[in-house]
Amino acid sequence: MTTPKAIDCFIDRRFDFLIVGGGTAGLAVAARLAENPNVVVGVLEAGPDVTATGIEGIDVPGMFGTTLGTKFDWQFETTPQEGLRGRTLPWPRGKVLGGTSALNFMTWNRGNREDYDAWEELGCKGWGWDGLLPFFKKSENFHPPTEDTQLKHKALYDPDGFGTSGPIQVTYANEFSESHKSWHGTLQELGVEINEKHVMGSNVGVWTSVGSVNPTTCTRSYASTAYYLPNKHRKNLVVLPESLVEEVVLEQHQDSWVAKGVRFRHGGESHFATASREVIVCAGSVQSPQILELSGIGNPEILARAGIELKVANPNVGENLQDHPMVATIYEVDPSLRSPDDLKNDKNVAAAAHAEYVKSKSGPLTILTNSVCYLPISHVAPEKALASISSKAAQLSDEHPGRNEIRHRRFASSSKLGQIEYIFDIGNWNVYFQPDPSNGKKYATMLQILQYPFSRGNIHIQSKDPSDKPIIDPKYYVGAGGELDFEIMVHCAKFAEKITQTKPLSNIVRSRAAPSTEVSSDEALKDWVVQNTITDWHPVGTCGMGGHGGISSGVVDERLRVYGVKGLRVIDASIMPMQISAHLQATVYAIAEKGAQMILEDWAKDA
């Protein structure tokens, strides 16, 4: 008896909901919808399903970053950036079942209450802090640290802050980088308080981060293992990997466009799958706008250049791109310290670490980056510079109503938001700094990451071919807003130096390696920042919620329905109208949880 092909089974099914993208948001939405036995859910994912065999670069916590640039990465790249002297930057995104949740560095945190309340202020009803908090918790299964870990590594938390029955396993590590013991004390010397409630609406201060790791198996907890595998047995959930979506098929019914299904490529052939109720695009901030444009939704001029029939005119598709620019300063440190670089440079060290991990789930391969600090600009920049930044922020204009006031408020001298993130860890994280491994020197990295950029870029298709990568132009440091971003980053670089020169951290720091100590003038430092800025790969906003402005201000409404089309939603980081002060992972899961509930509510009303 011949087993039916997966593709035949897929296209023959009568799906109620079709999800485009089996990544962070897509699998979470699919799992929640499939909990209702009365609906049939299909998921199309361009990358492979590796859950059966496992991939160490994905599963082993301490191997984070090793899958970047591989076949599990879309390997996107920006256009040459004017503000970065014409440099192009790699933009990693996950091309595997689980999406970017399979590639990220497992950092788990939330933004400030004000970040989400700003969305609601713009008219996105229900998307403030109070509206999102239950969905943050719904995604989480927090495992408290041991008393020893709490005391020794300042793994402090509010027990009411986390969810305890969700799919994503969240925990503090049991082992930490050797520099972590100096982190809290150093920041306290600089007047920064320890934040024991860093997920409760304010991330300002110094704290120890948690990660999306299953403490039982000491493996990454991500969308595939947390949402998909526990629901894989459901007969009403069908996932088809290695399927590239070509377009959402829209049909005109009277005066309305209606999403009827998805055309996609699988096995070298084009296929069509129907969706009787909705198509849900969960392809992320890069590819969700790409798919809308391929489907005829977007700026008429861009679609015309690509030879695509215009169905819904909306120039906001692909616009409003906001990212977190990042700079990595490198320091030479005490050579006796254990470093992740040892695993790359010494085969014997790597083999021993691997053996320890396999045997006891301990050792270097269990260590994540946990030394975190979020600070307002008022703590970083001198008073005169702060007044200048606030004044310039007030003069910037934004075509979308409401954003001017919010952005100005964020940069007022009285603001207590985490406008800059600092992370410190042993190891070299700067791709432009390549020391000779034979010199015996050890290095550490100070990351500084701008949380509320004024720069606004865009992402658009370059042709009607879905395999052509979209054009990504973040516009780092361009225009009046970008110039202000750059000014802030230079002040932040100076404060990073101050941190490393403060005890007890200064006890292990020998000297600055990149930029070299010869870079001492403001002009030289500015040049170095331009040459070393990269992405922290946190893009948002390209299918943003329109709020009060509706289709004139965004792409989806507050229930994530695409303006001008029935039966089509977008659910992922692209719907965020303004950037947040946090790594995106936890927020994307919360968006997915809330979006899935909205879909089921609407389905129940119409059933």
Q: Is 100 annotated as a binding residue?
A: yes
Verify whether residue 538 is a known catalytic residue: yes
User: What span, in angstroms and rounded, lies between the C-alpha atoms of 477 and 23?
Assistant: 30
Angle of helix 479-500 relative to helix 522-532, nearest 10 degrees, comes to 110
CA distances from 308 to 294, 297, 451, 471, 475 (A): 7, 9, 36, 16, 26
* DSSP 8-state secondary structure symbol assigned to residue 78: B
**Pick from 578, 458, 564: which is nearest to 128 by CA?**
578
User: What span, in angstroms and rounded, lies between the C-alpha atoms of 475 and 230?
Assistant: 41
Query: DSSP labels for 537-573?
Result: S--B-TT-B-GGGGGGT-SB-TT-BBTTEETEEE-SG
Note whether 438 and 420 are within 8 A (CB). Answer: no
**Pick from 164, 546, 210, 146: which is nearest to 371 by CA?**
210
Angle of helix 129-139 relative to helix 585-606, nearest 10 degrees, comes to 100
The amino acid that residue 347 corresponds to is K
Beta strands (DSSP E) in 155-209 are: 168-171, 205-208
Q: Which of 271, 354, 400, 538 is an active site residue? A: 538
Q: Work out the burial of residue 383: count CB atoms within 10 Å of its CB; fewer than 13 is exposed, 13-18 middle, 19 or more buried.
A: exposed
Q: Is 245 annotated as a binding residue?
A: yes
β-pairing, 297-298 with 312-313?
parallel
468: left (phi over 0), alpha (psi -120 to 50) or beta: beta
* DSSP 8-state secondary structure symbol assigned to residue 144: P
β-pairing, 509-514 with 534-535?
unpaired
User: What span, in angstroms and rounded, lies between the C-alpha atoms of 445 and 428?
Assistant: 6
Verify whether residue 583 is a known catalytic residue: yes
User: What span, in angstroms and rounded, lies between the C-alpha atoms of 191 and 193?
Assistant: 6
User: What span, in angstroms and rounded, lies between the C-alpha atoms of 442 and 513?
Assistant: 10
Q: List 220's β-bridge partners, or say none.
A: 213
CA distances from 109 to 75, 136, 306, 588 (A): 26, 10, 39, 11
Q: Work out the burial of residue 433: count CB atoms within 10 Å of its CB; fewer than 13 is exposed, 13-18 middle, 19 or more buried.
A: middle
CA distances from 55 to 60, 63, 70, 323 (A): 8, 10, 12, 28
User: What span, in angstroms and rounded, lies between the C-alpha atoms of 275 and 593?
Assistant: 21
Q: Which of 354, 379, 491, 583 is an active site residue? A: 583
- Tokens for 267, please give them: 């096995």
Note whether 585 and 212 are within 8 A (CB). Answer: yes
User: What span, in angstroms and rounded, lies between the C-alpha atoms of 176 and 146?
Assistant: 14
Q: Phi and psi at residue 59, in whole multiples of 5°? A: -80, -35
* DSSP 8-state secondary structure symbol assigned to residue 102: G
**Binding-site sequence positions:** 96, 100, 245, 537-538
**Binding-site sequence positions for FAD:** 96, 100, 245, 537-538
Positions annotated as catalytic residues are 538, 583
